Structure 1
């Protein structure tokens, strides 16, 4: 009887692991299908990583999944933090994790690819 009980518990745990793995793959596929190319201003500093969309001025927290955006920003050699740069990025929008993101941002832009980053902000809706 004890051996049977252990087999049932083991099977249930294995089924749980398989179910969790399948759900994670579906969520990742859903996020990939929502990938968009966006243009806007990116600012980076010790306490904030933000992106302002050129087309409507909405502001988002930034999560850098490729781990290159902060590095590319740093290579532009600003004397002080939070200087805006023009960026063209691929990514998707997700609900912000309130434990790690300021209350000012209800959505997060998860960056999957950097297309362009420049100190020169083009004329038009992105010019401040």
Structure 2
């Protein structure tokens, strides 16, 4: 009976520790959230984002599964057509085992603020 109680206490403590670690990771991500503006291209082989302000290109992970859907709803005839986007997300190191390894960093999208076929004048139109 005593070992049963010890096992239950151990499982409960392990669960609390695991939950605490998981929350810490999310708070780090949310503290690094940025709003970015740029051009997004999507197709079967590529999901890329080019930052308007300096032209750097990033691989894109659509964590909310809303960006790809919004892009598809614009009804392009061909893939990889660039669109103007304003996104909220954070930058992470690219996975070296995937196509994302060709990019220095990955933009993990947490919110789609704006998506448009019309590319505004300025740094993004070049």
Aligned to 2:16: 18
For residues 123 and 96 of structure 1, what CA distance do their matches in structure 2 show? 30
For residues 68 and 8 of structure 2, what CA distance do their matches in structure 1 show? 44
Compute the TM-score of the two structures, normalised by the length of structure 1.
Answer: 0.86
Cα deviation, residue 24, structure 1:
1.0
Aligned to 1:108: 106
Aligned to 2:116: 118
1:3-41 CA-to-partner distances (Å, cap 9, x unmatched) read 64x665665454333222211101101111111110000
Runs of 5+ unmatched residues, structure 1: none
* 8 A Cα contact 2:95 2:101, kept in partner: no
The number of equivalent residue pairs is 126
Aligned to 1:83: 81
Cα deviation, residue 108, structure 1:
1.1
For residues 114 and 58 of structure 1, what CA distance do their matches in structure 2 show? 19
Compute the TM-score of the two structures, normalised by the length of structure 2.
Answer: 0.87
For residues 52 and 84 of structure 2, what CA distance do their matches in structure 1 show? 9
Runs of 5+ unmatched residues, structure 2: none
